[in-house]
Amino acid sequence: MANLKYVGHPAQRVDALDKVMGKTKYVGDMSIPGMLYARSLRSELPHARIVKLDVSPALKVPGVVAVVTSDDFMNHSNFGFPISDMYMLAYEKVRYVGEGIASVAAETPEAALEGVKAIICELEPLPAVFDMAHALDPDAPQIGPNRTDGNHPNYIGHYPVYKGNPTEKLQECDVTIEQKYETVMQEHAYLETEGGLAIPTPEGGVVVYLSCQSPFIPRNDLCKVLGLSADRVRVIVPPVGGSFGGKDDLNYQTAGQVAALALKAKRPVRMTFSREESIIASYKRGSMRMNIKLGADQDGTLRACEFRSLYDSGAYSSQSPFTSWRASIHAMGAYRYEDCTVDIDTVYTNTGYAGAYRGFGNTEVCSGIEQAIDEMADALKMDPMDFRLKNCLKVGDVTPHGQLLSESVGLTDCILKVRKMSDWDRKRKEFASQSPSAEKRRGIGVAALFHGTSLGAEGLDEATATIEIHSDNQVTLTSGLTDYGTGARTVYTLIAAEILGIKPERILVHNPDTNTAKDSGPTVASRTTILAGNSVRVAAQNLIQNLDWAAADFLKCDVYQVHRVGEDYIGPSEEPVSWDIIVKHAREMGLVLSAFGRWTAPEIHWDEEKGTGIPYFAYHFGAQVAEVEVDLKTGHTDVVNIWAVHDIGKVIFPQGAYGQLYGGISHGLGYGLYEDLDYQNGYAQSINFDTYLIPTSMDMPEIKGGFVEAAFSAGPFGAKNIAEPSMVPTAPAILNAIANATGRRIRKLPANLERVMLGKELTKKGSPFSCKVALKIT
C-alpha cells in the first residue's frame, strides 16, 4: 500500500465549493410549476383514540386541492422495520404529541394550514404512560401492537449478552461498585429540517425527492402502502443538510404523505417542516436507565460486570430493537471480563419516540460504563488511564461475547497517545493539589470506547456501486448509500481515483437514486466507508481490467508490461499514452466501459437467546480526554481542551476524518453539558433552539485529534470508520473530568448548571402550550 497517490492525502471535499457558495439545492429550495404545499394535521394529545376524522371541510377551504388520511393507503399505511408498528398517517389511535393524522395539499402553505385547521378530528384521550419504569405494569395502557406470545404489549424486547455468572464472581472480587446512571433524550438538530417533494409520473407512478438516509427503504415502503410496483416508485436523495440518524422513519412518513397527495392531486407536492414541527414530530435519542455492577481485584484486574438497563423507545419501536441490541453489545465497554452479563429491556411509552441517533445505543451505555470504570479506578486508587490500559481489549483477546479479536485493535495505542498528548500525568497531579476552598477547579478525565463497525448481526450487510466512463470521458459513480454531509462522496472519489489512476476531478458521484443505484442497505451504522467504499473499490477494479486490456492492445504488449505514470500508460516502448487515448481505444475495441462492484461483509452471527456470538466483523477503538474548569458557585463547566485519538483503520480522506471527529465531539459536548429534550406528560418542553441548547462555536474548546491506523485487512485500503464513534466517549470524558475537578459525580446527563452545583436537577412544571401553538403556525 505504499505510494498511494490520493487515498490518505489532503483533498478538497467534492461538494464543498457548491455548499460554500450557496449553490447546493436542498428539498426546501426546489420549486416546480404547479407545485402544491403540504401540511400535516398532528396530534395534540399523547395518547388518544381517533373517534371522528372528517376531512371534507378542509376540501372546501380555498386553495386546498387534496387531503389524505390512512384510508388513502393500502393496509391503513402500515409500515416499519423490524417491527411494523407505524403508519404513514395515524390509524385509529395516536400515540405521541406530534403524530401525523391527515395531510393537506394546497396552493400555498397558508391555505394548507387553513385546511389542516378545518379538518374535524375528534380525539378521545386515553390513559398514557410516560415513565418507562411503569410501561410494563399490568394495568398500563396498551401502546404497542397486540402480541400473542404472552408478553406485555408495551414490551419491545430483551437484549442480552451472557458470559458466565458475574453475580457469583462479584462476591469473589476484592472491590465491587454498584451505581445507577441515566441519560435523557437528545434532538439531532440537523440544520436542514425534514422535507420531501413528490412528482406524479405520466405512468401513474411517483418520483420523490426525499431528504433521507436510505432511499431504498422509502421506495419499498411506498410500493407497499401505495400498492405500486417497484418501477412506479423512484426515490432520489438530493443533498441532505445533516441527519445524524434522524432522517429515517419520520421522513418516510413525509414521503408517504407527499406521494399519496401527488397521486391524488395529480400535481407535484412538497412538504417541508418548520423547526418547531421538526422537533415536536421527530424521533430522538432514547433515554436509558442503567444499573452497573463491576468487580475487580486489588491489583487492578477487572473481573466481572453485571449491566442491567431499561430503554425507553417512546410511542414506536422505530430502530430501538437495533439500538438496544447495539447498546447490549457495547454495554460493558472495551474490556476483558471473566464473567459479564448484560440485560437490556426496551419498552413503549407515550413520550415522543426514540430512533436512530449517532452512536446508536453505544453513546448511551458508554456514558454509563465509562463513568463506572472511573469509579472503580477511584475505588482501587488507580489512575484511570492505568486501569484502562491494564484491562482494555488487545489483539488475541476474546470479548465477553465470545469473539476472538484477531487484528485491528488499536485501543492501547489510542490510550497511550492521548495520555501523552494531553499531558495527563502532570495535570492529574497538578489538579489533585488544588486548594479545597477554590471556587473554580480544574479537572481532567478520560473515556475509551469500542464501536462495532457497520450493521453487525442486525442483518445482511452488503453494498453495490456502479462506475461508468461516459462519451466525454467523465467518470460517474453511483452508490445506494447516501452522503448526508459526512464526506462519503469524497471518500468514494479518492478510492476510485486511486484504483483507476486518474485525477479525482474526473469523477462525479451521483445522488442516490433508486432507478440508477443498487440497493445497498441502509446508510447507517458508520458503514459507508467500509461497505460503499469497498464496493467502489471492487467496481473500479473491475473497470480497470478492461482499460488495462485496451492499454496492452494499444501498446502491443502483455498486460503485465503496462505501467502507469500519473494518468498515462507506458509500455515497453516507454512512450507515454494518455488515459483518454486508452479509453478511446477501449471504446473502439467494443469493451464495456462500466462496471459493478459488490462487497459483502465477512460473515458474523449472534445467538439472541444465549447472548453470544460474533456481533461485528471489526471494531473502531478510541479514547478521548477532556479538561474542564468548573465554577462551584455557579455550576458552570468550561471545557478547556479535548484530545481525541481514534483507531479508524486507514485514513482515506484526512480532512473529512477530522471533520467527523470535531463534529462528533461537539455533539458529545452538547450531550454531556446542555442537551435534554425534556417531555412533560408527553409534551416536548423545548421546541426550538432558543431553549434547546446545543453548543455554539464559543462553547467548543480547542480539540487536538489524532488517528491510530490499525488497518482492518478487509476494509478499503484498511479503513474502518469514524462517524458515530467520534461522539461516543466525549460526554463521559467530560463527566469524569468534572468528577476529577469537584470530587462529585453527576450520574444523570446533562451536567447542567444546577446538577453541577447542587448535584440534582431543579424542575419547572411542564406545559403543553408551546407544542399546541407551534403545531398551528406556518
Partner 1 sequence: MAKFDYVLAKTLEDAVHLLNEPNIRSIPLAGGTDIYVAIRVNPIWFDRLVDIRRIPELSQITQEGDVVSLGAAVTFSHAIANPILQKVAPFLVEACSTIGGPAVRNCGTFGGNVSNAAACADSLPALVCLEAVAHLRSPKGKRQLKVEDLVTGPHETKIESGELLTHFTFKVPPEKARSCFIKIGRREAQSISRLSIAVIGAVDSTGMVDYIRVCPGAAVATPVRFPHVEAVLLGKKPDEEIITAAAEQLVVDMIVSTGRRWSTEYKEITLKAIAERSLTKIFLEDGQHVN
Q: Which residues bind partner 1 (CB under 8 A)?
A: 110, 276, 439, 633-636, 674, 689-690, 693, 695-699, 752-754, 757-758, 762-765, 770, 773-774, 777-778
CB of 693 to partner 1, least distance (A): 6
| Nearest-5° Cα angle at 491, 485 to 497 | 140
**Residue 733: its H or E element:** helix 730-742
- C-beta neighbour count of 311 within 10 angstroms: 27
Contact 86, 318 (CB under 8 A): yes
The smaller minimum CB distance to partner 1, of residues 71 and 110, is found at 110
The smaller minimum CB distance to partner 1, of residues 275 and 598, is found at 275
594-600/605-607 β-pairing: unpaired
CB of 748 to partner 1, least distance (A): 16
CA gap 249, 218 in Å, rounded: 9
User: H/E/C letters for each residue in 468-527?
Assistant: EECCCCCEEEEECCCCCCCCHHHHHHHHHHHHHCCCHHHEEECCCECCCCCCCCCCCCCC
CB of 634 to partner 1, least distance (A): 5
CA gap 533, 151 in Å, rounded: 42
The smaller minimum CB distance to partner 1, of residues 70 and 770, is found at 770
Q: Who's near 199: CB < 8 A, 6+ residues apart?
A: 32, 206, 207, 208, 209, 262, 268
Q: Which candidate, 740, 583, 729, places its Cα nearest to that of 645?
A: 729
The smaller minimum CB distance to partner 1, of residues 51 and 758, is found at 758
The smaller minimum CB distance to partner 1, of residues 355 and 750, is found at 750
CB of 287 to partner 1, least distance (A): 20
The smaller minimum CB distance to partner 1, of residues 577 and 693, is found at 693
Residue type, 521: G
Contact 682, 351 (CB under 8 A): yes
Cα atoms in the Cβ-side hemisphere of radius 13 Å centred on 75? 14
CA gap 275, 355 in Å, rounded: 18
The smaller minimum CB distance to partner 1, of residues 223 and 753, is found at 753
Query: Which SS3 state, helix, strand or coil, does residue 777 take?
Result: coil
CB of 757 to partner 1, least distance (A): 6
The smaller minimum CB distance to partner 1, of residues 747 and 755, is found at 755
The smaller minimum CB distance to partner 1, of residues 109 and 571, is found at 109
The smaller minimum CB distance to partner 1, of residues 310 and 673, is found at 673
Query: Which SS3 state, helix, strand or coil, does residue 222 take?
Result: helix
CB of 750 to partner 1, least distance (A): 10
The smaller minimum CB distance to partner 1, of residues 570 and 700, is found at 700
CB of 697 to partner 1, least distance (A): 8
Q: Who's near 540: CB < 8 A, 6+ residues apart?
A: 467, 495, 496, 499, 500, 595, 597
CA gap 762, 753 in Å, rounded: 10
The smaller minimum CB distance to partner 1, of residues 50 and 737, is found at 737
CB neighbour class for 394 (10 Å; exposed up to 12, middle 13-18, buried from 19) = middle
CB of 548 to partner 1, least distance (A): 56
CB of 114 to partner 1, least distance (A): 12
The smaller minimum CB distance to partner 1, of residues 433 and 697, is found at 697
CB of 666 to partner 1, least distance (A): 12
Q: Which candidate, 478, 498, 503, places its Cα nearest to that of 489?
A: 478
Query: Which SS3 state, helix, strand or coil, does residue 647 take?
Result: strand
CB of 423 to partner 1, least distance (A): 24
CB of 688 to partner 1, least distance (A): 8
What are the E-state strand segments in 153-286?
155-163, 175-183, 195-200, 206-210, 233-236, 269-272
CA gap 588, 583 in Å, rounded: 9
Query: Which SS3 state, helix, strand or coil, does residue 626 take?
Result: strand
CB of 675 to partner 1, least distance (A): 11
The smaller minimum CB distance to partner 1, of residues 426 and 760, is found at 760
Q: Which candidate, 438, 334, 347, 381, places its Cα nearest to that of 732?
A: 334
Long-range contacts of 581-590 (CB under 8 A, 24+ apart): 581/554, 582/547, 582/550, 582/551, 582/554, 583/469, 583/473, 583/547, 583/550, 585/550, 585/551, 585/553, 585/554, 586/546, 586/547, 586/549, 586/550, 589/550, 589/553
The smaller minimum CB distance to partner 1, of residues 133 and 438, is found at 438
Question: How many residues does this entry show for the chain?
Answer: 778
DSSP tag of 133? G
Contact 596, 590 (CB under 8 A): no
CA gap 157, 258 in Å, rounded: 33
CB of 18 to partner 1, least distance (A): 24
The smaller minimum CB distance to partner 1, of residues 342 and 749, is found at 749
CB of 695 to partner 1, least distance (A): 7
Q: What are the grid coordinates assigned to 22, written together?
A: 450557496
CB of 699 to partner 1, least distance (A): 5
CA gap 372, 180 in Å, rounded: 9
